[in-house]
């Protein structure tokens, strides 16, 4: 709050009150006004300095805050009060689902080689960067891509989306991450039953998934399954490489843990020079 005319009047009134009924002579009045002036100047100077230093005047503490700060002072809180305070302090943190890990694990259920999983993931992370199965393409056009693979209706309804919807209806399924992948795997791994890709394309991609390296799978999945207008090939290859390294590391950890279980906790640091030791 800024210092104003009312504040000056208050200072003078306070000084007169202190003097009571004492008669104020001309000299005394001069002294009184001088003192009041000095107090006013000091207060104004302090306010000016605060403004220069961008110091905000503290706000008056709310009644609720005062009650909260004084709660329990001079007495112990009841169990009900303690419970309420604990509930008030709790912060409910909703963790976002780890769709990337979920997608990888779902692909692993189809017994695909690491190269195949990495190549497919490299494509998915361009189509849906967080692997959220409810990802919708950001575009003004009506036919938006949807999900992990950005299924769309396409020209003359030849896109994957109508076939995916039929797949869900025929099998009494709901749209989900697992079922989006399930449709893709059914189309690719069962070429003779492939309704969208057709036998030739499905069979070609199936062979790539089974025997191709990371780069071959990434490019093949892009050309045969995704078929986007803008390829972003390098981004797909970079994503695939990152996932491949992650899978290799995880596989190494699984093998090491398996060996520890089979050998009763023995690890062989240097099999050519030393005997295994217990850890």
Q: Structure pTM?
A: 0.62
The CATH number of domain 102-267, selected from 3.40.50.2300, 1.10.530.10, 3.90.1150.10, 1.10.287.180: 1.10.530.10
- Which DSSP state fits 159? S
Structure tokens at 102: 């979920």
- Distance from C-alpha of 159 to C-alpha of 137, rounded to nearest angstrom: 15
> pLDDT tens digits for 101-154?
999 999 999 999 999 999 999 999 999 999 999 999 999 989 999 999 999 998
In whole angstroms, what is the distance from residue 121 CA to residue 129 CA?
10
Q: Do 267 and 260 touch, CB atoms closer than 8 A? A: yes
3-state secondary structure of 90: coil
Q: Between 211 and 261, whose confidence is greater?
A: 211
Between the alpha carbon of residue 245 and those of residues 18, 117, 236, the distances in Å are: 84, 11, 14
The pLDDT tens digits for 25-74 are 555 556 656 665 666 667 656 665 665 555 444 544 554 555 455 555 55
Domain spans, the chain: 1-54, 102-267
The torsion region of residue 225 among left (phi > 0), alpha (psi -120 to 50) and beta comes to alpha
């Amino acid at each position: 709050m800024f210092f104003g005319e009312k504040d000056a009047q208050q200072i003078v009134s306070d000084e007169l009150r202190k003097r009571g009924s004492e008669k104020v002579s001309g000299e005394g009045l001069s002294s009184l006004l001088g003192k009041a002036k000095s107090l006013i100047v000091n207060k104004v100077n302090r306010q000016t300095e605060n403004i220069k230093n961008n110091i905000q005047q503290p706000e008056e503490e709310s009644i609720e805050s005062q009650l909260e700060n004084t709660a329990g002072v001079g007495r112990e809180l009841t169990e009900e009060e303690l419970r309420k305070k604990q509930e008030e302090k709790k912060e409910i943190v909703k963790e976002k689902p780890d769709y990337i890990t979920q997608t990888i694990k779902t692909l692993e259920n189809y017994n695909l080689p690491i190269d195949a999983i990495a190549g497919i993931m490299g494509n998915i992370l361009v189509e849906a960067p967080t692997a959220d199965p409810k990802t919708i393409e950001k575009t003004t056009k009506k036919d938006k891509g949807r999900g992990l693979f950005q299924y769309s209706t396409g020209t003359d309804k030849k896109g994957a989306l109508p076939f995916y919807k039929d797949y869900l209806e025929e099998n009494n399924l709901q749209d989900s991450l697992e079922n989006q992948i399930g449709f893709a795997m059914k189309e690719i791994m069962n070429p003779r039953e492939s309704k969208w890709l057709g036998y030739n394309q499905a069979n070609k991609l199936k062979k790539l998934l089974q025997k191709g390296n990371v780069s071959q799978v990434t490019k093949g999945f892009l050309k045969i399954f995704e078929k986007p207008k803008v390829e972003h090939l390098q981004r797909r290859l970079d994503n695939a490489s990152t996932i491949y390294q992650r899978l290799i590391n995880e596989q190494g950890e699984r093998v090491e843990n398996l060996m520890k279980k089979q050998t009763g906790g023995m690890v062989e640091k240097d099999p050519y020079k030393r005997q295994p030791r217990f850890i």
